[in-house]
Amino acid sequence: MTRCPVIPVLVIQDLALARPIAQALVAGGLTTLEVTLRTPCALDAIREMSRVDGALVGAGTVLNADDLARSVDAGAEFIVSPGLTTQIADAARRLDIPFLPGIANAGDIMRGLDLGLSRFKFFPAMANGGLPALKALAAVFGQVRFCPTGGITAENAPEWLAHPAVSCVGGSWLTGGAFDAARVTLRASEAAALRA
């Protein structure tokens, strides 16, 4: 979470683009990449992207322990899930892999703390009340750090990153539209510069 200010959230439809997308993002300075398990080629995309020098590739949209095990087999180095279950938290601990679960409220965070977790994805960030909601949660849970995701854009990312409890943000804006390596690298370099 502290490696880069922005984690690109990637939905890879075409496996042939996996490596070029990772290369373009890394060239711009974003090296922590979340590949969502929302497409048939997602696990293969994790394998491909893991071969790109400098890329730290994880799996997102990991919904259960089976997804988690498959992601680790494919080479994922961290796991992101939209929510938090005891089963998936236990699986992450068993396989000793960094785990960033989604939380939406104080009860979710308390369950996470009970499970030994203190780093969470605030999801879906904008729909859940945006920065005012995060500020209210962060005031209560001083030891917790967040990665807001869901509705984060190049325009609003700086406001989120200015909050001390926000270690990084996640978003899909870096790779929107038809793939254009130069454009992805430009967006990545702008995002990487959001926090010195």
Catalytic sites, residue numbers: 34, 121
Shortest Cβ 142–ligand 3PG spacing (Å) = 25
* Contact region with ligand 3PG (CB under 6 A), list: 20-28, 43-51, 155-163, 166-174: 166-174
Among 47, 69, 151, 192, binds ligand 3PG (CB under 6 A): 151
By three-state DSSP, how is residue 34 classified? strand
Shortest Cβ 173–ligand 3PG spacing (Å) = 6
69-128 binders of ligand 3PG (CB under 6 A):
123-124
How many other β-carbons are positioned within 10 Å of the β-carbon of residue 158? 12
Evaluate the CA torsion angle 14, 50, 174, 189 in order and state its sign.
negative
By three-state DSSP, how is residue 150 classified? coil
CA distance 67 to 60: 10
4-23 binders of ligand 3PG (CB under 6 A):
9
Among 8, 28, 148, 171, binds ligand 3PG (CB under 6 A): 171
Among 172, 179, 186, 194, binds ligand 3PG (CB under 6 A): 172
Residue 150 contacts ligand 3PG per CB under 6 A: yes
Q: What is the DSSP string of 90-145?
A: HHHHHTT--EEEEE-SHHHHHHHHHTT--EEEETTTTTTTHHHHHHHHHHH-TT-E
Applying CB under 6 A, the residues found at the interface with ligand 3PG are 9, 60, 123-124, 149-152, 170-172
